[in-house]
Amino acid sequence: GQNIDQPTEMTATEGAIVQINCTYQTSGFNGLFWYQQHAGEAPTFLSYNVLDGLEEKGRFSSFLSRSKGYSYLLLKELQMKDSASYLCAVFDYGGSQGNLIFGKGTKLSVKP
Amino acid sequence: NAGVTQTPKFQVLKTGQSMTLQCAQDMNHEYMSWYRQDPGMGLRLIHYSVGAGITDQGEVPNGYNVSRSTTEDFPLRLLSAAPSQTSVYFCASSYSSPLSGNTIYFGEGSWLTVV
């Protein structure tokens, strides 16, 4: 089985930095995804980590520690448009091919 | 740039009715899947397909059927709608299994209400 934990909600100020944590327990591991989802819209891909360490993409960075079952998404220079839910997802080896399993998401509110 | 197209966007059903949510992708992706999203529950996998003619169950398959007769299309059928199936449904596709780190692309969602 698998378990993915993220904080339910977070609040941060425009221009600040925020870190969204994700811990996971899976029967196997083949990488971790982060998705962004604005209210009423589809999730969109942010990042993928399969090796330990930090991956940076502009204002967004994602970190992975496989030994600790831990990842975080770091958002810098927050903008109002970053208000969204952030979904952590890991691959699970159940079924004939396995699948991507999502956490419940962290709703981030950015305030002026 | 159609990507993943879902129809209908909104639907109201009566309990016991059946319906099909359509999903099509024009990216020649082998892997397609259906998720439902409910408040406080996150995205949960209903069914998935790794290629034409192959389907498998996800986490919450009961009450739903799928088929994959072509690479492009992956319809989701509700056999006898129940209020518990009120949800937002997302179809998604990727080049191949996300096992290989392939990005999943989502459709815009279908809001279904069962009364």
| Nearest of B9, B11, B54, B12 to residue B33 by alpha carbon | B54
Find the CB nearest A30 among B44, B99, B106: B99
Q: Which residue of A has its CA nearest to B43?
A: A102
Q: Is A80 helix (H, G, I), strand (E, B) or coil?
A: helix
- The model's pLDDT over B29-82, given as tens digits with 9 standing for 90+, comes to 999 999 999 988 889 999 999 999 999 998 899 999 999 999 999 999 999 999
**Does residue B1 surpass a pLDDT of 70?**
no
Q: Which residue of A has its CA nearest to B4?
A: A42
What is the model's pLDDT at position B42?
87
* Joined tokens for residue A11: 């609040």
Q: Count interface pairs A-B at CB distance under 8 A.
A: 64
The residue among A4, A27, A100, A107 with the most chain B CBs within 10 A of its CB, best to mutate, is A100
Gap between the Cα atoms of A68 and A48, Å rounded? 17
Gap between the Cα atoms of B53 and B34, Å rounded? 16
- For chain A positions 33-92, those within 8 Å of chain B (CB to CB) are 33, 40-45, 48, 50, 87, 89, 91
Q: Is B41 on the interface with A (CB under 8 A)?
A: yes
What is the model's pLDDT at position B41?
85
What is the model's pLDDT at position A1?
58
Gap between the Cα atoms of B58 and B112, Å rounded? 20
DSSP B53: T
Gap between the Cα atoms of A104 and A7, Å rounded? 9
Question: What's the pLDDT band for A101 if we cut at 50, 70, 90?
Answer: confident
Q: How far is CA B19 from the centre of its chain?
A: 13
Specify the pairing of strand B87-94 against strand B105-106: antiparallel
